Every structure is written in C-alpha cells, then in structure tokens.
Structure 1
Amino acid sequence: MSDFYKKDTPFQVYISFKKYLDVLEHIRYNDRLEYRVNYAESLIEKTKNFRELRDGFQDISLLEKSEDLIRLLLADLFPTGLTHNEIKAAGIPLSNVTFNYTERFKSILKDAGKDFEIELRNIDDDEFYVFCCCLILQAYFKRDIKSTLPLYYDIPNRQGIMKHYKISVNVDFTEVYPTEDARIPSEEVIDMLLENLDDYRLWKKYFPSKSWVLKGFSIISLVDCTSEVALSDLKSSMIRIDPENIKPDENLKEIFKSYFDVAQLSFGLMLFNGKDQRLEKLPIYENVFTNYILDFWINTFDSETRKKTFINLNHNSKPIVVSNIENLDHEIKSLPSFGILRDNEINSFMVIPIMKDNELIAIMEFTSPIPNSFNGLKLKKIEFFTDMILFSLNRFSFEKNYQIEAIIQREYTTIHDSVVWKFRNEAEKYFNASLGKKYIR
C-alpha cells in the first residue's frame, strides 16, 4: 500500500480507470460510428486481463509496469497532435503522483533536473486538508465549489528561472464515497463548515483522516502564468517598503528574473531629490540594487550637466533600451566612458525615468550580461507595475519626511526659520544612517 499524499488527508486513495472504461463501454454499445465502436472494444479487450485497472490499486509501481497500456488507454484524452503544446498529465487529485505526461510536460520536468520534486505552491497542511474536504463536498454532496484557492506549481527551467504554472484539475474520472467510519454531515453542518474554512479542527471533526475513499484518476493541465505570479509577488514586495520595518526583500532579483524571463539580471533604483537636483540611493537596498549605469552617470558628468538632464527629463522622459551594446555606433563604443559597460559585463540594459505629474521622482535601471535580454516588449511589461512603484516611493517619501520632522522636533526644541535647512540636512543624514544600522541588525 502506498501513501499518495505527503500530508494528512481524509482519503484512502485507489488509482482506477473504471469510470473511463465505463465511457468506453458506452461507446462500444451505443455509438453509431463503427470505427469508434471497434476502437473502444479493442481497448476494453486489452485491459481485460488487468483487473486492477478497473478495480483500483494502491501500488504505484503498477503505473510504471502498465505504462504502455495506460498510455494507449488514455490516448483520446492526450491527443498526439497536441503533446508538444499542452502541459498535461494524469494523476491523483491534489497529489504529487502524476503519470502519462505530454512531451512538453516531460521536457519541463527534465529541464528542472532529476532531483526536482513537483509540489504545490504555498499551501500549508491545514489548508490542504480543508481543500480535500471541499473536493468531497463537490464530488459527493454536489456542492458547487469550484475552488477554495488557486493552485500553482513552481518549476525552474534549464536557465534556473523559476516558472509558475497554474493548475486546473479535471476530476470527471474520479469517484468519492464514504467508508464505514465516515460521518455524513447535514446540509446545515456543511453550510457552517463553509463559513469556517480556516477552522481545521472543525473540518477534521466531520471529515476524519482516511474516512473517505477517493478512487479513479484526474487530468491536470498547466498554464504558464509566470508573468502574472511574478507581477503579484513584485507588487507584494513593493508594498512592504517601509522605513518603520526595514527588511529589504532580497528575492526581488529572482522575481524580476521570472517576470522578464532573463536568467542573469541586475537592477537598481535611485530617488530624485528635486530640491538639491541630485539622485540619492536607498540605504537599505544597497545590497540589493546595483546602480551600475546610474553610478557611472553621477560620477562622470558635472553637476551642471546633470541638472540640465533632469530638467530635460521633465519634457522628454522616454526610457532608454539597448538590446545589445555591440549594435551601438562605433563612436559610442570608442568613448572612454563605454568601459563602464565592459567592466561590469553589461551587454543589454534599460534605464527608466519614473515620473509623477510630469516631474521626475526616481530612475530605475535593469542590466544583464546576456545580449538581447531587454527590448521594447520587456519595457512594455514595466507599465503593469509602474503605479505600484509610484505608490511605494510616495509612501516611502512620506514616511521619511515624517520621521525627519520627528528627529528635528526631538533633538531641537527651537529652531530659527533661517537655519531649518541645516538641521533638516543633518536629520536626513541621521535618518539614512539609522536605516543602514537597522538593516545590518
């Protein structure tokens, strides 16, 4: 007997093809097309000597022993013409046990490496148990419950970029029924349970462990939702930028890699100080941001040139995208300053001014040593999180100003208006230093 789930569930599980064989029986005796009748009859005859395929089994090794027969049996559900396009497999609902993969699914798992184990994303033991109970409500009690939460697989590709796949599960070929030890909840109890999805103990009271039978197989289909998931993760990370709780998200780089589909990527961001007409680093993110191009720009040009550039950006804030630096003009590549790209192995980059009400508030950069990593299409993807960048930066600036004022009020009781700026500059230095200390801790 095999345990199909790594987590506790209300199920005793049996892999069975009975419901699909019943479909073939119906075709055999009712279909008007002779070739379909013959096809169904042939499949039924081939499985006649393998009663466990109909009766059900718990020995996973039988999946490998009967691999060819199962593939033949499920051929209609897995068309050969779509095997290189669809990401699809048979399996046990909500289990990591999968089989009969399409060629594209096989390729994805091969690229992930032989040590990779496919697992559901971000679902704890309690949520998983309740999810299984909801499957019982849907299959046995005929409650219209599509899903309690979205399911995803996180699978790295050959380049190490984490890809995110949304899972849809077809349970048409499974059946769920109670054992003798099962409790059959009333409609009122079911309503009460659905109002308390987070009460794991309550669900387990009415659906004890191993008290129901899950028999059959499911069809799982994956859709690549990497951009959507990475965008959601990115927005969550940006919301957490908070001077009161300094904890820079060092997963930002991995999130950006997934979002832009770039295996090697660095990024940086500097805030624009409109009063002093200069770019400023975020102290807490110095270990996360690289700022290769922005640092070079600050250190290369004089203050007057930089100020003119800032003024011009208010009128023309078009981003700069260079897909491959080797395609730049010879004159540009001959400049001494071009060495900044060579020294930092930058072969593709984007520089994006962040504007609000036609005023510059920050500049962001993305760089990669891989040529052609960035282009106009990648730049277009930035539009989907620009509003969140603005929200985060405005929130950070508000909190920063609030704390600077608090420092001034705390340290100095009376300040003449003519020298407030001096105290503010010192308070700002103190604030930035304190951010660095908080992060080091």
Structure 2
Amino acid sequence: MKLDQLKLNIDEIPFKKSLSFLPLINMLKEEKKNGFNLQAESILRVIEGNTSLLKADFDIKEVGKFEKEIHALMSYFFTPTQYKNDIGVASSPFDDHNFYFTPNYLKVYGDENIEIEMVEQKKQDKCYMTFTMLMYAYLMILPKFYKFNLNMDYLFMYRMTDKLNGLVRYYKIEFNEKCVDVTHNGTIPVASEDDIREMINDPMNLDFWLKTIPLNNFTFRGFLTFRYVDVTQIEVISSLKSQLLEKSSILNNNNFNDLEQNIRSLLSLPNLNLGVLALAMSQGNVDNPADFWHGFVDPNKYKCDAYQGTIYEEAAKSGAPVLINDLAKRPNLKPLEQELLNLGIRNISIIPLHYEGELVGMMELGSPKAFDISFTKLRIIKDVIPVFSIAVKRTSDELRNRIEATIKEECTAIHPSVEWRFQQAAGNLLNKKELGETVQMEEIVFKEVHPLYGAIDVRHSSVIRNQTIQDDLVEQLQLARKVLREAYADRKMPIYDQLIYKIDFFIDGIRKGLSSGDEMNVLNFIRHDVESLFPHFKENSDSLMLAIEEYHNNIDSELNIVYKRRKDFEDSLGIINDCATAYIEKEQEKAQEMFPHYFEKYRTDGVEHNIYIGQSISEQKPFDRIYLKNLRLWQLIVSAELARKTESLKGSLPIDLDVTGLILVHSQPLAIRFRQDEKKFDVDGAYNIRYEIVKKRIDKAEIKGTNERLTQPGKLAIIFSQEGEMVEYQRYLEYLVAKGYFEDDIEHLQLEDLQGVYGLRAIRVTVKKGVEPKEALVVAKELKLND
C-alpha cells in the first residue's frame, strides 16, 4: 500500500505528546543517588531552583529563557567534542519543533549551497511525516510493552549535495529516545509475537498497525535527540558497485560521469578525474586487445607502444597501483607522461585491473593538485577495484563480440518458444518505418523467468587431452629417433648422434610434463632438423628406408603429425557429446508440451543447457508454478538418463572417459535480454550477474573441509543456496529413488566458498545402473505434478 493510500487521518496523530525535561532530570537524580556521578551532579547544579524545567508539559516557547540550563541538560547527550563536531539536534516528541542545535547543524541547514534531501523520499509531504512519527512511536512502544525490539537502523537517510563542487555526503539518522516516557491509560492492547511480525512484514499498511496496536491511549513525554552519522563511504561504494554492474556503466558517457562524481564524493576530492581503459600484457608489453578506451589521453594520438616504459607499464608489470605525487618533478618523462602534464594532471595513480588473474585494464585517478591523492585515499577505494575489473572485462568482451558478430555469415536460430515475440517486434518496426520514422528494432526482454541450468562434463578432460598430446609427441620423437639411429649405424656422423641426444632430451622433458610452447618447439625441431634430412637418406641402406617409411605411415597426412591418441580422445568426446545432445534435444521437444520455455545448449568438454520458463515467454498459456516444478523433475530424470547413456558408451569408445552431472538451482526469477550483437539471450541486470558468476565456478566446487570435488562419475550433484530449494529437491529425489532412478544414498553437503560465491550447499546422489528408462513426462504424471 502506498503512503498516500493510508486511511488514517494525517492531520491528527492518534496519541498524546508533550515536551518535558522531567524524564532526564529524574534520570540524573537517580544516577547521582546510586553512585558518584560528576556529570549528573554538575548538570543538576546548573538547573537547581528552576522549577519551570520540572514541568510535565514544558512550553517550547519558553526555551529561550533557559538557554544556559538547557545547554547543560543537553551536554548529557552531546559532549563538548560531539557538540563541536557532530550534526545534532533535539526536539519535542513527534513534532517538527527543534529546540537545541549543534553549530554544525545550523551551519548545514543555513547554507544555501547545500541541497538536503531524504534518500528515496524526496517529496516530504504531510503523509510521509505522519508515517515517520508513527514509526518512531512504535519503535518505543514495542520494546517497553511487548518485549519486542525492532531494529530500523537505516529507517531514514539524508543526502547532502554541495552545489558548488557536486560532492555528495550521506547521513543516516540515529535517534535517542532515552528521555521519552511512554505511558498508557487503561488496558494495554493485546498483540502476540505473530501479530507483530505480521505488522513488520507489511510496513506500509499503517491502518493494520493501528488496528493491531491502537495508539489512542498512549502518551509520550520528554524529548528526542538526533545525530547525523556519516555513512558516505558505505553508500557511495554500494552505489558504485551497482553502477559498475550495469552493462553500459563505462561506455555510456552520462553513466561514466556519474561514476566519476561518485569517486570524487568517496575520496572528497572535487577536482579528481577518473579514467578507465582496457589493457593487457602481450609478450611483456602493454597491449589494447579490445580497442576500448575511456582514458585521459587521446587514443588516436597515442597508440599502444606509447605506453611502453611509462607508469602504465610499470603498474601492469608490478600488478600493484603506482602513485606519482607530483608528475612535474618526475625525471625523464616519456611523451605520454608529458601529455598528462599538458592536460593539467600533476598527481596521478595508475591502478591495474585484474580478472581471474589476468590483466584486463587500467584505472586512472588524476588531480591537478600535487599530493591530492594519498595512499590512504587508495585504500578507501580498494573494495570497488574488483568490480571495476569485472566491468572492464565485461565491456571488453561485449565489444569483441560485436566485432565478431559483424563478420558472421549466419545468425543463431531463434528458438520457437520466443519466435512470437520477435515477430511482434518486427511488425512494430515495419509499422513505424511505414510512418517514416527512423527507428531501431525494440529490445526483446523476458522478465520474471525462472532459470534452470544443467551440465554433463567429461572428468579431467584437460588432463587427458594433455596426456594424449604427450603420447603423440613422444611416439613421433621415437619414430624420428629410429630413423636417426639407422642413419648413424649406416654412417657414423656426429651430427646424427647429437640429434639423437636432443630427441632423448625432448622425450624426457615431455614425460615429466607438458609446458606451454613445448609442442611447437618439438614440431619445429622435427620439421627443420630431422625431416629435412630425409631426402639425403634416400640413397642409403634398406633398413634406413624402412624406418623412414614407418615414420611416414604413422604420420597424419593432413596434419603432418602423429595424431592417434588425440584423435581417440576427440572421437570419444565427440561420441559422448553427440549422444548427450541427441537425447536432450529429443526430450526437450517433449518437455515443450508441459509449458513453452526457452531452451539453449552448447558443447564444451561435455554439454551444458540453459532453460528459462515464465509467463512472459508464453504468448497465451497462463503460467503456474506447477510447470516449473514439472520442468525441474524432468531435468532430474534427463540428467539420470544422460549419466546411464554415457556410461553405456564406455565399452565402445576409443578412450574410456568418465562423465559427471551437475544441476544448479536458482529460486529467484530473473530477466533475460536478447543481445543483438551476439544474437543470443543473456541475463539482464546487475543483481542477475551473480547467477552467471555462480554457473561459471561451480564445476570446480569442493566439499567443505575436504579436497574432494563435488562432481563425481556416476553421481548427480544438485547445488542450491536456499533451504526451501533443498526441501523441494529432497522430495523429488526420494520419489525417484523409489522408482529406481537413483540409489538410496542421498548426501547433504556443504561446499567450500568460491571466489565471490559463498554459502552454497548441495545434494548428491548416485545414478542407478541397469534400469529401463522411462519418459520424463510419464514420471511427472506419476508424481501428480500435472494435476
């Protein structure tokens, strides 16, 4: 319910209230009585004899007559240091009648160059003020009369903007109600803990609050004190993170200007300049792979090589921020560094941005004033540096993808479940063009869709692939060695013996482990140093000719290398992927009968699939959560059958490969947007990015407290973060265990934290072998999910 829809009378507060110093005075007397308290004694001495201050109802118009005494009373809440430094105020209960102010309060509210607004509530109308007072009233009533503490730390927050330099400060309001006596005349209204929790769950419905705990017979006497607590750092960092996770945070000039202004406010440097550029290290030099710049200098004037030997390359190679307090005093400036000075930048910091250990860009902080940016300022922004890295990486990838999309001859086919929306958008575009408007095709977004993600993956595929490369290289080296041994036996030339020694050196090194560049080095050696001798050998002995013939017979005619184990691996992987792809495509077509949903798959060292289901994807059929449950059960059954089918392939594969299964459960709906540059759908919005991050990292998840990988051959792992998800999948698995799809060994596991992903848990179950498969829809009907 909106505030302006409240039925309560906003012109009358339904309780009695009055200004009184008596609660504080009584508290001071009690403190003095119970122990030696110099402050209480000192304050009481100042107000001694002033009976007017002892009134239960003090007229606020009389405040000026007792300025000295009230200042003494307020020193209980505002020490001399707090009085000097804080923004504070005291007021009568639930009235906009302030009677005591700290100097900074008067300074801020008296400065016409400071704009003050309440965050998320710019329009402070009478209705909102009524809401404010009622909230404070209940904050005092609930703990005293119902033993229920209500914590609303950030109930109200103010934004103060300096109009002269644009810097913004954020303050939350801490109020102290110690000197308000709350009394009730008559029988206290009865309210259970459940009633109070229901009130809290519906905070805007104050009619319900007033009905549950009426305020008519409550009386509030005393005064309230308020302190403005600076939370700028927390709020600005939070705002920066939200901005950076938006797709256009860096490319869009307006958005980038907002980022720069937020950084200025965070560091309290109104003249600070922000720059961000995508860079990487290539063969030890600074490179710009994404052609994306938002930096200080003109990229058309200074190319990548201009950055070599500068503070930028120093930061890139060291991996740590470089801070130059005064660029004008730095000796031997490079042309690029001189250009920075010409642009008016004297104080500069270059901060390298890394994503998963890879340098993806640079962040520039510059000021025209020397020593403006200190190392303490850099510590303040350290928490947002990783988010800048993600934003740069994402932006760079998007730009690369756009470039690739322009040279693609084929576009991704549109899935039938969403074809209607593209037809609708195309129709709207044609209609507008007919009217002579210059328009682009509208964005295609499906909101409030539920994601399902699953994957089968070949276990240790990278290790096996490396091993097959090693085996092929060793075989080719041994075949070459045999040729050279025959040549040496026929004619004992030292060069042949030296080449044999080098081959043995390569074989020994490869067997110990394959390093980057080893394969190319070996092949270059064979082609240039060994195979080049073969024409010279043709007039030699028969045994040498046989060795050369054997060498050529084992070499792939197209690749000109030994390609046996690698081919076996790739063939085995291809068979598994073909089997999985064919099965999941066939079952997916049947699953569309449940409810139209978007489906996509892609091959890696296995097969992954994404499913999105929700009302926005269906043009006509109404969506019900039962369809989501049905699809989740279908995914479990399909995953079990995929495990069985891939296991049954083992005897026929050139290389036996183990396959693991994984499902990620995500309970919150999200939005997907069609990206024109890549002709594909992607999750939309900053919050939903976390879902994609989790997907990319869970395949390496380990069980908490062990080194054991969650995914194991013959088992299906279901990862989730919410308790309700576990309960739902526990129900499905118990049924499927009874039906013979899984063994009765359901494991509940906690997972080790991953980078940026915390608190994940999992259920793991063993797929039962040798069971006749059933169609997923039949099992769903047996579970009565279709009813």
State the TM-score, normalizing by the size of structure 2: 0.42
Per mean C-alpha deviation after superposition, the further-off stretch among 228-237 and 382-391 is: 382-391
Aligned mates of 2:245, 2:185 — CA distance in 1 = 48
Match of 1:196? 202
Match of 1:76? 76
How far does residue 313 in structure 1 lie from its aligned partner after superposition?
A: 6.2
Q: Deviations over 1:226-275 (max 9, x none)?
A: 222211111121122359x9783643222111211212122121223789
How far does residue 74 in structure 1 lie from its aligned partner after superposition?
A: 2.5
Assess, with a 3 A threshold, how the Cα gap between structure 1 residues 358 and 13 changes in structure 2: closer, same or farther: same
Contact 2:316 2:352 in 1 (8 A): no
Assess, with a 3 A threshold, how the Cα gap between structure 1 residues 277 and 37 changes in structure 2: closer, same or farther: closer
Residue number among 171, 174, 178 corresponding to 1:168 in the alignment: 174
Q: How does 1:419-438 map to 2 (within 5 A)?
A: none
How far does residue 169 in structure 1 lie from its aligned partner after superposition?
A: 2.0
Aligned mates of 1:368, 1:320 — CA distance in 2 = 14
Match of 1:384? 383
Aligned mates of 2:102, 2:144 — CA distance in 1 = 27
How far does residue 196 in structure 1 lie from its aligned partner after superposition?
A: 2.7
Q: Which one scores higher on RCO, CA 8 angstroms, separation ≥ 6?
A: 1
Q: How does 1:36-75 map to 2 (within 5 A)?
A: 40=44, 42-46=46-50, 48-50=51-53, 54-57=56-59, 59=60, 61-64=61-64, 66-75=66-75
Match of 2:321? 319
How far does residue 203 in structure 1 lie from its aligned partner after superposition?
A: 3.0
Assess, with a 3 A threshold, how the Cα gap between structure 1 residues 199 and 238 changes in structure 2: closer, same or farther: farther
Assess, with a 3 A threshold, how the Cα gap between structure 1 residues 305 and 163 changes in structure 2: closer, same or farther: closer
Secondary structure at 1:388 match in 2: helix
Assess, with a 3 A threshold, how the Cα gap between structure 1 residues 178 and 148 changes in structure 2: closer, same or farther: farther
1:392 maps to amino acid:
A
> Is 1:292 aligned to residue 296 of structure 2?
yes
The structure that has the greater radius of gyration is 2
1:391 maps to amino acid:
I
Match of 1:272? 279
Match of 2:641? none
Contact 1:270 1:279 in 2 (8 A): no
Aligned mates of 1:282, 1:117 — CA distance in 2 = 36
Q: How does 1:330-349 map to 2 (within 5 A)?
A: 331-332=332-333, 340-349=339-348
Aligned mates of 2:231, 2:411 — CA distance in 1 = 54
Aligned mates of 2:260, 2:41 — CA distance in 1 = 56
Contact 1:17 1:56 in 2 (8 A): yes
Contact 2:19 2:92 in 1 (8 A): yes
Assess, with a 3 A threshold, how the Cα gap between structure 1 residues 91 and 241 changes in structure 2: closer, same or farther: farther
Secondary structure at 1:292 match in 2: coil
Match of 2:358? 359
How far does residue 385 in structure 1 lie from its aligned partner after superposition?
A: 1.3
Residue number among 13, 19, 22 corresponding to 1:15 in the alignment: 19
How far does residue 109 in structure 1 lie from its aligned partner after superposition?
A: 2.2
Residue number among 139, 149, 154 corresponding to 1:144 in the alignment: 149
> Is 1:153 aligned to residue 158 of structure 2?
yes
1:155 maps to amino acid:
M
Aligned mates of 1:35, 1:165 — CA distance in 2 = 29
Aligned mates of 1:280, 1:96 — CA distance in 2 = 56
Secondary structure at 2:348 match in 1: strand
Q: Deviations over 1:386-422 (max 9, x none)?
A: 22223333444555566666666686689xxxxxxxx
Residue number among 257, 260, 273 corresponding to 1:253 in the alignment: 260
> Is 1:263 aligned to residue 270 of structure 2?
yes
Aligned mates of 1:367, 1:56 — CA distance in 2 = 56
> Is 1:26 aligned to residue 26 of structure 2?
no
Match of 2:90? 90
How far does residue 379 in structure 1 lie from its aligned partner after superposition?
A: 2.2
1:229 maps to amino acid:
E
Q: How does 1:155-234 map to 2 (within 5 A)?
A: 155-156=160-161, 161-177=167-183, 184=189, 186-187=191-192, 188-203=194-209, 205-206=211-212, 213-234=219-240
State the TM-score, normalizing by the size of structure 1: 0.69
How far does residue 44 in structure 1 lie from its aligned partner after superposition?
A: 4.1
Secondary structure at 2:49 match in 1: helix
Secondary structure at 2:301 match in 1: helix
Match of 2:660? none
Assess, with a 3 A threshold, how the Cα gap between structure 1 residues 86 and 412 changes in structure 2: closer, same or farther: closer
C-alpha RMSD over aligned residues: 4.6
Assess, with a 3 A threshold, how the Cα gap between structure 1 residues 100 and 391 changes in structure 2: closer, same or farther: same
Aligned mates of 2:23, 2:315 — CA distance in 1 = 66
Per mean C-alpha deviation after superposition, the further-off stretch among 231-240 and 196-205 is: 196-205
Structure 1 residues without counterparts, runs of 5 or longer: 1-5, 284-288, 415-429, 433-441
Q: Deviations over 1:341-375 (max 9, x none)?
A: 45432232222221234432111112222332212
Report the number of matched residues. Answer: 392
Assess, with a 3 A threshold, how the Cα gap between structure 1 residues 201 and 113 changes in structure 2: closer, same or farther: same
Match of 1:121? 119
How far does residue 139 in structure 1 lie from its aligned partner after superposition?
A: 4.5
Assess, with a 3 A threshold, how the Cα gap between structure 1 residues 389 and 33 changes in structure 2: closer, same or farther: closer
Assess, with a 3 A threshold, how the Cα gap between structure 1 residues 200 and 367 changes in structure 2: closer, same or farther: farther
Assess, with a 3 A threshold, how the Cα gap between structure 1 residues 34 and 338 changes in structure 2: closer, same or farther: closer
Aligned mates of 1:152, 1:8 — CA distance in 2 = 25
Per mean C-alpha deviation after superposition, the further-off stretch among 62-71 and 232-241 is: 62-71
Assess, with a 3 A threshold, how the Cα gap between structure 1 residues 179 and 231 changes in structure 2: closer, same or farther: farther
Contact 1:12 1:214 in 2 (8 A): yes
How far does residue 25 in structure 1 lie from its aligned partner after superposition?
A: 4.1
Contact 1:314 1:359 in 2 (8 A): no
Contact 2:327 2:347 in 1 (8 A): yes
Contact 1:28 1:36 in 2 (8 A): yes
Aligned mates of 1:11, 1:75 — CA distance in 2 = 29
Match of 1:369? 368
Contact 1:16 1:216 in 2 (8 A): yes
Contact 2:315 2:321 in 1 (8 A): no
Aligned mates of 1:407, 1:226 — CA distance in 2 = 44
Q: Deviations over 1:80-136 (max 9, x none)?
A: 355335554433578765453445x358627x7146575543358497467333443
Aligned mates of 1:196, 1:185 — CA distance in 2 = 19
Aligned mates of 2:156, 2:204 — CA distance in 1 = 17
Contact 2:348 2:364 in 1 (8 A): yes
Structure 2 residues without counterparts, runs of 5 or longer: 1-9, 123-127, 414-675, 679-787
